[in-house]
Amino acid sequence: MARITSFEEYQKEYKKSVDNPEAFWAEQAEQFTWQKKWDTVLKWNFAEPTIEWFAGGKLNITENCLDRHLPEKANQVAYYWEPNNPTEKAVTLTYQQLHQQVCRFANVLKNNGAKKGDRVCIYMPMVPELAIALLACARIGAVHSVVFGGFSASALSGRIQDCDCKLVVTSDGAYRGAKTIPIKAVVDEALEICPGVEKVIVLNRTNTEIKWVEGRDVRWEEEVQKANADCPAEPMDAEDMLFILYTSGSTGKPKGVVHTCGGYMVYTHYSFENVFQYNEGGVYWCTADIGWVTGHSYIVYAPLLAGATSVMFEGVPAYPDAGRFWQVIDKYKVNIFYTAPTAIRALEAMGLDYVKPYKLDSLRVLGSVGEPINEEAWNWYNENIGKGKCPIVDTWWQTETGGILISPLAGITKTKPSFATLPLPGVQPILVDEKGNEIMGNGVEGNLCIKFPWPSIIRTTYGDHERCRQTYFATYLGLYFTGDGCKRDEDGYYRITGRVDDVLNVSGHRLGTAEVESAINMHVDIVESAVVGYPHDIKGQGIYAYVICTNKNKDAETLRKEIMAEVAKAIGPIAKPDKIQIVTGLPKTRSGKIIRRILRKVAEGETNNLGDISTLLDPLVVKEIIAGAIK
């Protein structure tokens, strides 16, 4: 399928996609292998919501990721795997080898009781077997639920229970920079309260000593030896579930975002081709972790659907030193590099001495994802990494959108620092005011909504469809609400300004304030807490916690450490507050609602213009909070 090659063509395709979305996406879908063609391209109703793309169609996404490229691409590299430690041997997987390993592991899953529709939890480091595990699930129609390896046992067990996983795939340990993390031990702890898990498949990665539960635990390596290498691709309905991925919202526990097979395949592929402009024979590298949606869509599915060659990296940006990304780019002659603003800012802070030793002359396109990229980081990335020659694609999207919705097309859309620019064909953004009225014209700002379904839109939140409706489709009737604020400038370019709900974005990781508060409240001495985000030079947002402590004998430093431990235990180290202020009360309205606006201002260092405080129950509380604010 020819991709867009000029701005005029983009405009033409965009118009086509709005005038006749069904015809537009049907044409895109034609290029794939369907075991049976769809009956209807699209059925939708945002009020319920029901969204069905390619209903009646049968396919298996792995057939499109793997089998479809064989035998032509048998010897082409699918993944160059680069280990955490550069002295360890790298691994290359060709399309043929990947196909074979996926089929073998698919049979391992079957041999261990997994069948179509069963949920399989995957909790692993960034090793090739992680991608293989996802694809093996998809091969047999099992639904994968990947949990990021940085989440705690408590967070893991909550996710396993919520979707009732039958199997867990993990490894003994994980390498992360200089550290070795015993992740099987985390699984063991999580499973103490997950009786539904029948089998745990354990890969050996770090030779870490592990506890062994006879009858439950099996070894990846032994199981693979026993398994057949032939595994037919399970016929899946286009609307059968492909995966669940948990993400945080402004209230309650994280919810399981559900994506289905057909539409997700068509859209992730389309967006990959057009945004990155991948050329046959090129090398593409997305530095995300497969534990997040970026890894699902743009390390596993889309690049394989496109028959691309990717780098998969196990490590972290600053190990063994802050030149690692640039060294890996030179090593594999990476053409397209896709990373997060927080990584760019962290590496920028380390200084150019870590960049200078590397040529970086293979680079053609740079990408950014996960949070707004500030102008300074954009310029640094452009000048020092792209040498002023590589277009930067600032890609805006969400776990719920499955793929990139607003982004420049590399080399085609004129870029502007910190702007995600324009919607992809098939994406119809609108800005609305608080009441849901559309804000027309340019040079405006509002809440970002999408008014028409694209193929990889969220279908439901696992086990609780009403929550999906409430969260995304009930704020503004007839629209999908993103939770983001957004500007549209004089050129009609979109600039995402950040969340307008109580969701934090810390180093590109999404966390709910309520979630962090309930973790803090687990501490015996804390009766109440309020968490807000504040601008952080590297992380984008830092976490500022106001806590009410009942124990007058506890010193602030001890309390701080204990709260950090409590949060790490409930969620994971990524959710640890950066600042904790002990207060005697929180600013509340007479009806008892915390006025977060004031807390946010104080956390930002603002002490004067706190806005209207006349509705406050106890104005003295604000004085105390300002006086004790942590710089």
Site residues for ligand WT7 per CB under 6 A: 247, 292-294, 369-372, 394-399, 420, 482-484, 496, 498-499, 505, 510
DSSP code string of 169-183: EEES-EEETTEEE-H
Q: How far is the CB of 389 from ligand WT7 (least distance, A)?
A: 21
Q: How far is the CB of 329 from ligand WT7 (least distance, A)?
A: 21
Q: Which C-beta is closer to ligand WT7: that of 14 or that of 298?
A: 298
**Which residue, 332 or 378, is less far from ligand WT7 as judged by CB?**
378
**Beta carbon nearer to ligand WT7, 62 or 294:** 294
- Cα distance between residue 367 and residue 339, in whole Å: 6
Longest dimension (CA), the chain: 74
Question: Per the structure block, which two tokens stand in for 224?
Answer: 């693979």
Gap between the Cα atoms of 455 and 305, Å rounded:
16
- Find the shortest distance in angstroms from Cβ 254 to ligand WT7: 11
Taking the complex as a whole, how short is the minimal distance between the CB of residue 498 and ligand WT7, in angstroms?
A: 6
Neighbouring residues of 525: CB distance < 8 A, sequence distance ≥ 6: 549, 550, 551, 554, 559, 562
Toward ligand WT7, which CB reaches closer, 112 or 277? Answer: 277
Q: Closer to ligand WT7 at the Cβ: 34 or 298?
A: 298
Burial of 485 from C-beta contacts in 10 A (0-12 / 13-18 / 19+):
middle
Q: 586 Cβ partners below 8 Å, 6+ apart?
A: 528, 530, 546, 548, 594, 599, 621
Comparison of 148 and 332: residue with beta carbon closer to ligand WT7: 148
- 476 and 449 in contact (C-beta within 8 Å)? yes
- Minimum CB distance to ligand WT7, residue 268 (Å): 12
Contact 502, 596 (CB under 8 A): yes
Closest separation in Å from C-beta 341 to ligand WT7: 8
Per DSSP, helices labelled H in 277-370 are: 293-295, 302-305, 324-332, 341-350
In angstroms, what is the minimal distance from the CB of 384 to ligand WT7? 20
Least spacing, CB of residue 464 vs ligand WT7, in Å? 18
- Closest separation in Å from C-beta 553 to ligand WT7: 40
- The whole-angstrom separation of Cα 73 and Cα 307 is 8
The CA distance from 327 to 372, in Å, is: 26
DSSP label at 399? G
Helices (H), 508-585: 513-520, 556-570
Q: How far is the CB of 630 from ligand WT7 (least distance, A)?
A: 25
Query: 282 vs 403, which CB is nearer to ligand WT7?
Result: 403
Cis peptide before 320 (omega within 30 of 0): yes
Tokens 């041999």 locate to 111
- As measured in angstroms, the least distance from the Cβ of 367 to ligand WT7 is 9
Q: Which secondary structure element, helix H or strand E, spans residue 107, and what is its range?
A: helix 95-111
| Dist CA 100 CA 178 (whole Å) | 33
Contact 275/404 with Cβ under 8 angstroms? yes
Residue of minimal Cβ distance to ligand WT7: 399
Give min distance, CB of 151 to ligand WT7, in A. 13
Q: Quote the least distance from Cβ 500 to ligand WT7, whole Å.
A: 9
Give whichever of 57 and 391 is closer to ligand WT7, judged by the CB atom: 391
Residue written as tokens 């899953």? 109
User: Which is nearer to ligand WT7, 175 or 472 (by Cβ)?
Assistant: 472
CA distance 457 to 150: 26
Residue 552, both tokens: 């007058």
Q: Which is nearer to ligand WT7, 371 or 502 (CB)?
A: 371
Nearer to ligand WT7, 354 or 419 (CB): 419
- Give the position of tokens 């396919």: 59
Contact 449, 429 (CB under 8 A): yes
- Backbone conformation region of residue 184, classed left if phi is above 0, alpha if psi is from -120 to 50, else beta: alpha
Nearer to ligand WT7, 154 or 482 (CB): 482
Q: Return the ∠ at Cα 203 (arms to 195 and 67), rounded to 5°.
A: 100
**CA-to-CA distance for 452 and 74, rounded, in angstroms?**
39
Cβ proximity to ligand WT7, 171 vs 421, nearer residue: 421
